[in-house]
């Protein structure tokens, strides 16, 4: 059974019937009954093709579905959820065995699966409710006017188009583009990959909200390694993202990207490792976007304001200056495109049945709001449509399209001029310019260091006298959120779109960050942990 308009609506009707039956029947004498119940089906169809040197190494088309049941007992004011749910380890629960749904979403099969999962979720909700009562005997928990927000019912039913991903055509595409690596035989383990995902979400809840939505994500990646003379494997890649098949790159574009990737790796292999550094730095839009995502964005997620394990960096800072004047930060899931590029973080309704909203987080440097799911926070009793999850995890407030903008952005030349002055005034040997990054991570809990880390792919030493840049390698940048926020000296008038995936307690979700270049007073670079490897005993086989 493939999902089209008729099938999706039939599935939703079956889910509604089973939810209604569960609301009436899930009860144990002398124990709380559910006051809220929701069912969510994620149905995915994925196609992946990757290969090297003109051959397809692997191709696959598969379908799967995952089920999510949210069962709340007690009341909107006091339910079983503790710490916003972000500390729950669902992998250890009995219910985890039933989150995988049928590949063929037949209504009868889905009713059985939701029936089984609902029973487990109700029993676990009761256990959590009494555990929370025990905690309340000795602890006063932080929360809003309630633990679970009341929201107006909302209905969104979109047309569903069956996904048709052309496996044969994409296999030919991978063969033809990966053939280019034959002329770059010094590169190791190269590949080209095409990946596409179609995701249909079908939702109903006991308040009357329901939705059917469909989203698609496309990626093309070219990646390779090179071994430096000192035995370090260095990697580079080029990625193309889109939400429609028409946005996939042409063969010529990928072939040109592979040639550029090869030149990049050659330059990287010639670069010298950089000694640890602390000083002024100029970050490109991609690099500054990663910093804002890790250092600021995650710390504005609502659940982190109430969870006992969290550091709550900005929990009491509403209405106060957390960034320099002239900087605005907002998150807008309703934004589908920017600068002519589709945004991975675009959606119309979140995973809790709440319409997506644009949220002004920082206005002229002043903190105004948090990203909110239906977990209430003091002063913020309602969701703003940011409750998201990967599949089986509890939804929590997450970023979607995080946008950073300067009210008076400066030119790149102006930022480099100020960087040169900072280096001279501090008597440093050089400054740092970070152009590219690959990924990042952060810790927000109070029992560990409040820090973030980024992995740059293009780092340059900047000579303050000549303005020349020299490529360096083997570094990562680290910092603490408050120091990073207070150390911003200026933002550019440009902006870079970065589509990616973000992993946190509620799973992996598609996101986008749009940010301009940024000059910071202090950036700390540390040597990356690297091993030294011997070169292969034999040269690459003849081709």
Q: Using CA atoms, how far apart are residues 211 and 231, in angstroms rounded to an integer? A: 54
Contact of 93 with 132, CB cutoff 8 Å:
no
Average pLDDT score over the chain: 93
Contact of 159 with 5, CB cutoff 8 Å:
yes
Rounded alpha-carbon distances, angstroms, from residue 159 to 6, 166, 214: 9, 21, 8
Contact of 236 with 259, CB cutoff 8 Å:
no
CA 75 to chain centre: 32
Taking 70 as the threshold, does the pLDDT of residue 442 lie above it?
no
Q: Is 374 helix (H, G, I), strand (E, B) or coil?
A: coil
pLDDT at residue 109, rounded to an integer: 96
pLDDT tens digits, residue range 521-536? 988 888 876 788 888 8
Least confident of 262-266, 322-326, 485-489: 485-489
pLDDT at residue 441, rounded to an integer: 59
Angle at 520 between CA 514 and CA 522, to 5 degrees: 135
Q: Using CA atoms, how far apart are residues 261 and 240, in angstroms rounded to an integer? A: 13
Taking 80 as the threshold, does the pLDDT of residue 2 lie above it?
no
> Residues 398-425: what's their mean pLDDT?
96
Per-residue exposure over 372-400, b if at least 16 CB sit within 10 Å of its own CB, e if not: bbbbbbeebbbbbbbbbbbbbbbbbbbbb
Other Cβ atoms closer than 10 A to 231:
12
For residue 55, the surrounding DSSP H or E stretch is strand 55-73
Residue 277 pairs in a beta bridge with 525
Taking 50 as the threshold, does the pLDDT of residue 447 lie above it?
no
465, with CB counted inside 10 A (0-12, 13-18, 19+), is exposed
Least confident of 100-109, 391-400, 509-518, 525-534: 525-534
Other Cβ atoms closer than 10 A to 267:
13
pLDDT tens digits, residue range 238-265? 999 999 999 999 999 999 999 999 999 9
Taking 90 as the threshold, does the pLDDT of residue 213 lie above it?
yes
% of the chain with per-residue pLDDT over 70: 96
The pTM of this model reads: 0.94
Angle at 158 between CA 346 and CA 99, to 5 degrees: 75
Least confident of 18-27, 140-149, 307-316, 396-405: 140-149
Phi, psi (5° rounding) for residue 356? -65, 145
3-state secondary structure labels for all residues of 145-178: CCCECCCCCCEEECCCCCCCCCHHHHHHHHHHHH
Q: Which range in 53-62, 79-88, 225-234, 451-460 is most confidently predicted, on average pLDDT?
A: 53-62
For residue 225, the surrounding DSSP H or E stretch is strand 210-227
pLDDT at residue 448, rounded to an integer: 54
Taking 80 as the threshold, does the pLDDT of residue 460 lie above it?
yes
- The model's confidence at residue 352, banded by pLDDT at 50, 70 and 90, is very high
Q: Using CA atoms, how far apart are residues 204 and 213, in angstroms rounded to an integer? A: 12
pLDDT at residue 144, rounded to an integer: 58
> How far does the chain reach from its first CA to its final CA, in angstroms?
45
For residue 2, the surrounding DSSP H or E stretch is none
| DSSP code of residue 296 | I
pLDDT tens digits, residue range 121-179? 999 999 999 999 999 888 887 665 679 999 999 999 999 999 999 999 999 999 999 99
pLDDT at residue 145, rounded to an integer: 61
DSSP state string for 193-210: EEEEEEEEEEEEETTS-E
Q: Using CA atoms, how far apart are residues 110 and 196, in angstroms rounded to an integer? A: 25
pLDDT at residue 327, rounded to an integer: 97
pLDDT at residue 450, rounded to an integer: 56
Rounded alpha-carbon distances, angstroms, from residue 52 to 150, 324, 538: 53, 48, 19
| DSSP code of residue 293 | I
């Amino acid at each position: 059974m493939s999902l089209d308009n008729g099938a999706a609506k039939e599935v939703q009707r079956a889910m509604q019937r089973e939810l209604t039956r569960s609301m009436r029947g899930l009860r144990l004498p002398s124990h709380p009954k559910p006051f809220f119940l929701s069912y969510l089906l994620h149905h995915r169809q994925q196609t992946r093709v990757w290969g090297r040197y003109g051959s397809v190494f692997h191709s696959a088309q598969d379908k799967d579905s995952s089920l999510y049941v949210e069962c709340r007992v007690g009341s909107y004011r006091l339910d079983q959820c503790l710490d916003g749910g972000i500390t729950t380890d669902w992998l250890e629960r009995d219910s985890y065995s039933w989150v995988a749904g049928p590949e063929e979403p037949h209504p009868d099969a889905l009713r059985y699966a939701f029936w089984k999962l609902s029973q487990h979720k109700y029993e676990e909700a009761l256990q959590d409710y009494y555990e929370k009562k025990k905690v309340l005997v000795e602890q006063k928990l932080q929360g809003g006017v309630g633990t679970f927000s009341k929201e107006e019912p909302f209905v969104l039913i979109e047309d569903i188009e069956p996904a048709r991903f052309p496996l044969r055509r994409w296999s030919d595409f991978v063969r033809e583009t990966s053939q280019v690596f034959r002329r770059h035989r010094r590169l190791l383990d190269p590949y080209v990959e095409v990946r596409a995902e179609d995701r249909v979400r079908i939702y109903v809840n006991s308040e009357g909200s329901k939705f059917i939505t469909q989203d698609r994500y496309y990626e093309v990646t070219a990646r390779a390694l090179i071994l430096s003379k000192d035995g370090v494997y260095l990697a580079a890649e080029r990625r193309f993202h889109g939400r429609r098949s028409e946005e996939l790159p042409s063969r010529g574009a990928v072939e040109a990207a592979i040639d550029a990737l090869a030149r990049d790796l050659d330059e990287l292999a010639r670069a010298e490792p950089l000694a640890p550094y602390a000083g002024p730095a100029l970050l490109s839009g991609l690099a500054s976007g990663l910093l804002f995502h890790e250092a600021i964005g995650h710390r504005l997620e609502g659940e982190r304001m109430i969870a006992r394990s969290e550091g709550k960096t900005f929990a009491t800072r509403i209405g106060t200056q957390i960034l320099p004047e002239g900087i605005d930060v907002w998150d807008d899931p309703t934004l589908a495109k920017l600068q002519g590029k589709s945004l991975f973080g675009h959606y119309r309704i979140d995973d809790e049945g709440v319409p997506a909203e644009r949220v002004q987080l920082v206005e002229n440097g002043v903190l105004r709001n948090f990203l909110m799911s239906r977990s209430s926070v003091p002063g913020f009793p309602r969701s703003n449509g940011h409750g998201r999850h990967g599949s089986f995890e509890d939804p929590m407030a997450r970023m979607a399209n995080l946008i950073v903008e300067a009210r008076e952005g400066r030119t790149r030349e102006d930022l480099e001029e100020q960087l040169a002055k900072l280096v001279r005034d501090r008597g440093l040997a050089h400054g740092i310019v970070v152009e590219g990054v690959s990924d990042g991570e952060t810790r927000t809990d109070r029992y560990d260091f409040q820090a973030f880390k980024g992995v740059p792919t293009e780092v340059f030493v900047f000579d303050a006298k000549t303005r020349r840049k020299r490529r360096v390698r083997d570094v990562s940048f680290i910092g603490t959120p408050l120091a990073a926020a207070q150390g911003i000296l200026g933002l550019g008038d440009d902006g870079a779109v970065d589509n990616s995936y973000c992993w946190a307690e509620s799973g992996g979700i598609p996101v986008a960050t749009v940010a301009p270049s940024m000059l910071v007073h202090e950036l700390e670079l540390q040597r990356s942990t690297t091993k030294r490897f011997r070169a292969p005993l034999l040269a690459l086989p003849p081709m």
